[in-house]
Amino acid sequence: MALYSYSKYKILIDPESKKTQGLQVGDVVRRQYFDNPNLIYSLMIVLETGSDIVREKESPYFIGALVEGDEPQQGELLDFVRVTNLFNSNRSGALYLTASDSESPYMDVIDGMATEHSLYLQEKPKRITAGKSFKFPVNGTVRNPERMVIAYKVRASKAQADVPLAFGYTDGSEEDGTDMVDISTDWQYKLSLITIDYPGQYPRQLTIAPELTGDDWCEISDLNIVRLSRIATFADSTKARIGKITGIIDPVFGLLEGYGAYFQNLYATRNVNIAGTLTAGDENGFASTFYVGKIHKNVIANSIGAQFSGGIVVQEVAPAGIGDVVCTGGDTELCVQSSAWRMERIGKRYTFSIWVKGTEGRIAFYQDEHYIQDVEIDIAGEWRRYKVSFVVQDSRQEAMYIRFKTSLTNLLLTAPQLESGNNASQYQPTDEHLSYVEDYGAWFNKGGIGGTIQNPLLRLNEDGSISSRNGSFIIKPDGTGYFAGGKFKWTLDDIELTDITIRWGELDDEAKDQILSQAKPSNIRAFVSSNLSTTQIYDKETRTWMPNWAHTNLILTPSLFISNYGDSDLIGQLADPATQRPGIKLGSASWNKNGKQIISGTDSCWIGDTTAKYNLTIKANHIGQHAPYMRYGFQAIWIDSSGNETTIAADIQFSQLTNPGARVMALAYAPDGNIFKNGESKNLTARCDLWRGAQIDSTNAEYRWGVRDESVFANVQMAAPVSKGSYTISLRSVANMVPGGVLYLIGANKHIIQSIDELTKTVTLTTPLTRDYVTNSIVTTPLYDAQLGPGWAVLSETYPQGVIAGWRTYEITITPNAVRNFETFKCAIKDTDTTIGNSYAGQIVFDTITFTDMTDPFVVDIVGTKGFVIKNGENDIEAKALVYRSGKETDTTGTGFHYSWKLFDPEGIQVIHNYQGKQIQVPKTDIDTRGALVCEIYQGLNLIARGQISIVELYDGEDAYSVQIFTSDGNHFINGNISTTLTANVYKGAKEITETIPDNLFCWKRTSLNADGDAVWNEQHTGIGRHLTISDEDIFRRAMFTCEVTIN
């Protein structure tokens, strides 16, 4: 049995010291001092006090039971102070001043150590008679190896020896410990210490069984059963502290840190000055109903909803006095902010706090996939506020989450808060809308305004509504309400009038129009597609354009989608008022160029009719040196079935590059547009050309296409050897590696990344190594391609990602399945022209292009007043994001959404600059050759749209030769039906010189899986001229044809 046998010591006061003895029975006394190199500490419980005669003088003493610490020794300091009393509440407090404890210095007022945390505290004496025993059930759970302090006063009608005392299960099946006590007829103070032997799943009780017969009786008073740990430490008993407050656990604020003053009751008269934040709660410190301070503190949107995954709202009063209480079972997560918000605050410290009620156990807290710390719930069935502090880390998650990993079920959660800094302040409720301001303000949600505090003129009701004193009007939390006792009601969309007379003749024309108007069709999406690239290259010496709109006409086609009318393009549907058929109003369609209306047949522009979807055909080059940017706009009027008219509009912008010279560059565009339209399963293509000067070179180029994937990393070497069976490897770099990513060791052994330590560059794997590895062993990822660089997953037959053809050519075919909302593709082209004098041989150039799924309600258009070309290092770039919904621009002021801009480096891998706001300026010094500028737009926590443009830096240079190959019938054939003619055109700068070159200088070459056959084929097609006709005899499965032209 686990009865703890304590020692007793008699501590006398020196009769010459003139000190008096102030201790009483039941006092818990303590001594603590530092005697280098030892810290002397003793904790005793006073069992008896009195005085002896020493050297003919009175010497007060006390006899104490040593329950913890060092035995008192002769020559040591024996100055004991009372810290609490086991039964007398008037002696339960103390003042504790220390400079030697950890987290010191501080001064504490402590109280209630033995009584506030008691497992059983007897309020009045209890007497039993013959045939009965004392049974005292214990409140709460106790478990091994906790030690119980059992202290009480006892007397009986007659003296008894060896009365059994037992502490164990209430059913008597197991006993943690037993003791034998003697009882006299006078009150005596008894003390037993029992160490718990068994686990905590069963309730406990204390049993004392004296033998009573006849008229015998026994009486016990002042019984207190408390854990020894509760009277040995002050952590939960501090009522006030001045100094370093680190370590105090408050029921509202959790674990406190830093210096300051802490009080559980504070009274002040005259002046109270506060600079910062003032909050008020109820008498228990709960609730958050009054707040004066910084407006934007809690950054979690709708924290009162406590929207934890898998959570179910339960009927439980929230300790914060506001918000839902949700019940979760096991692991759960809460979305706390957007990915853009997280990106802007990487490396900054934040504190997450939450009210929790549940069974005893442990919860592991994570920020996204990054572990923060474990929190222990040590008191079951009681609301406690817990907090964790962490430094924000980057993640691939679409938003920022706080995750709980736990085996606890029926966990109650409410009032989550995320705030800047190391400390948790009192809870600030938030709804779906956050105010990103740095101002200070005041808020309260109970009581009222005007009248009296108990009968205000304007009431703030418990359900969050605001009403008048007499109920004549009310505004509800959802924004609905009424006036005049309900005769005038309103919602977000409607007004309901009851028993109200409106005389039509007394209304003015404007009011009549407003009443007659119906709701406009919702979710209107209009846009313009182009058959040519939105970038045109102009050679100012030869005065030629590529593409030349005069030779290859520019065709702009509008499209219109309205959610009320299905998934079809409605631009070609003509309205018929007679049959009430909705459509485009006859004669309303028009185009404009830079805001000036276009007349069909003038300025080389022709506008199609309804059957041609009002397309605009432009047969001349409108962009010139003095007008390098051109914007074409379409406008029409849509009439619904009720005859209501809505103006729709969309536009598209073109820009011109002037004479880039001999420098090579890549230019990506979408020949069929970059928008997947509703209800259409049509595939789209992305094309990327290698421009050599002002001409396209499609022969001396090696192509790679990739899709954005930030988990793809470059090949890296091991920094140290590692043995078989190890779970960790040390690398020279961990850039772009993420948990869950795949890596290969020496190209063969596959492993999954579990975690990454960026400081030590150590990667932990989910499975052990199957062999030994030496320093400099290569670590790779299967989707990395050196030509594309890190952050891009190379597209191929084995990893198509919805791209079904063209992975190693200048053109890829993209299916609708490849794009969800939007997707960015990168084309990297290697210059393989080894001609003498070509200084760009082996150089890799690239461009990116984004495709959009137009089923999304928001569309972003990035416009630039100065275009997106930095010419000769002279100009900055001004960019503005225009957001459209339902065919109209929204958030024109830039205050409704959050705009996050990212500028990627020339390789498209790293973000080198961030910008904020609807309209930004990119300094020319931020651009080195080129860069991808991405704008992400957030509504609250949700990413609603993304736009991207490419910024290039160009300088004047010399003309270069280039060859372009055109095919008459495409380059993909089905079931062996192959028949097409390839034609090679030769350019110098922007000027075509094909006719000046003799046929014998055109040499065609084939590259296929049959190398021997290629050699024979190449000999047969040397010097045959600019045209090549191929059939199924020339191709087996796949072949690549090139044309080499010799220029004398």
3-state secondary structure 593-622: ECCEECCCCCCCEEECCHHHCCCEEECCCC
Average the pLDDT over 270-292 and give the result. 62
CATH for 713-782? 2.40.30
Residue 975 has pLDDT above 60, yes or no: no
Q: Does 153 or 78 have the greater pLDDT score?
A: 153
Model confidence at 191: pLDDT above 60? yes
Cα end-to-end span (Å), the chain: 107
Q: Mean pLDDT over residues 650-655, rounded?
A: 81
Position 769, amino acid: L
Question: Which residue has 């869950």 as its token pair?
Answer: 740
Percent pLDDT > 70 in the chain is 86
Encoding tokens for residue 494?
């409607």
> Minimal CA–CA distance to 177: which of 153, 142, 152?
142
Query: Looking at the domain 120-231, which fold is it?
Result: Jelly Rolls (2.60.120)
CA 989, CA 659: separation in Å to the nearest integer?
8
The pLDDT value given to residue 764: 92
DSSP 56: T
C-beta of residue 797 within 8 angstroms of C-beta of residue 809: no
61 near 52, Cβ under 8 Å? yes
**Domains 120-231 and 294-444 agree in fold:** yes
Mean pLDDT in residue range 222-243:
87
What is the rounded CA–CA span in Å between residue 338 and residue 748?
Answer: 38
Give pLDDT, residue 166: 95
Does residue 439 contact residue 295 with C-beta atoms inside 8 Å? yes
The two structure tokens encoding residue 341: 């918000």
CA 340 to CA 400: how far, in whole Å?
Answer: 9
pLDDT score, position 287:
44
pLDDT reading at 420 higher than 80: yes
pLDDT given at position 284? 45
Q: What is the mean pLDDT of residues 342-355?
A: 92
Q: What is the pLDDT of residue 158?
A: 94
CATH, domain range 294-444: 2.60.120.260
Look up residue 498 and give its amino acid. Answer: T
What is the band of 972 on the pLDDT scale with cuts at 50, 70, 90?
very low
Which of 116-120, 199-203, 656-660, 887-891 has the lowest average pLDDT?
A: 656-660
Better pLDDT: 90 or 98? 90
DSSP 284: T
Nearest to 120 by CA among 232, 226, 236, 208: 226
Between the ranges 99-108, 168-177, 318-327, where is the mean pLDDT highest?
Answer: 168-177
User: Mean pLDDT throughout 556-579?
Assistant: 83
Arithmetic mean of pLDDT over the chain: 83
Per the structure block, which two tokens stand in for 909? Answer: 């891998």
* Nearest of 508, 507, 505, 478 to residue 493 by alpha carbon: 478
Please give the Cα distance from 945 to 852 (Å, whole number). 9
**Long-range contact pairs involving 445-451 (C-beta distance under 8 Å, separation at least 24):** 445/289, 445/322, 446/289, 446/290
Query: 749 forms bridges with which residues in the sheet?
Result: 745
Task: Say whether pLDDT at 535 is over 90.
Answer: no
Reported as a pLDDT band with limits 50, 70 and 90, residue 938 is: confident
Residue 865 above 70 pLDDT?
Answer: no
Closest CA to 9 of 70, 54, 58: 70
Extents of the domains making up the chain: 3-85, 86-113+235-266, 120-231, 294-444, 447-497, 713-782, 857-959, 966-1045
Tally DSSP H helices, then E strands, for the chain. Answer: 4, 82
User: What pLDDT shows up at residue 677?
Assistant: 67
678 pLDDT band (50/70/90 cuts)?
low
What integer pLDDT is reported at residue 285 of this predicted model? 44
Backbone phi, psi, residue 403, to 5°: -115, 140
Give the whole-angstrom CA distance, residue 697 versus residue 828: 14
Is pLDDT of 749 > 90? no
The CATH number of the structural domain formed by 857-959 is: 2.60.40.10
3-state secondary structure of 868: coil
Statement: residue 931 has pLDDT above 70: yes
* Residue range 801-857, pLDDT digits in tens: 888 888 899 999 988 777 755 678 899 999 988 887 777 788 888 888 877 776 555
Sheet containing 290-294, strands listed edge to edge, beginning at the edge strand earlier in sequence:
278-280, 290-294, 440-444
Q: Measured between alpha carbons, how far is 164 from 84 in angstroms, rounded to an integer?
A: 28
Threshold 0.75, pTM exceeds: no
Contacts of 562 (CB under 8 A, 6+ apart): 521, 522, 523, 524, 525, 570, 638
What does the pLDDT read at residue 220? 96
Find the range with the poorest average confidence among 289-303, 409-423, 531-545.
Answer: 531-545
Task: Please state, for a pLDDT cut of 90, what percent of the chain lies above it.
Answer: 30
How is 779-833 classified by DSSP, letter by letter? Answer: EE-TT--TTT-TTEEEP-SSS-TTEEE-TTSSEEEE-GGG-SSEEEEEEEEEE--
Which pLDDT score, from 0 to 100, does residue 848 have?
A: 82
pLDDT above 70 (res 883): yes
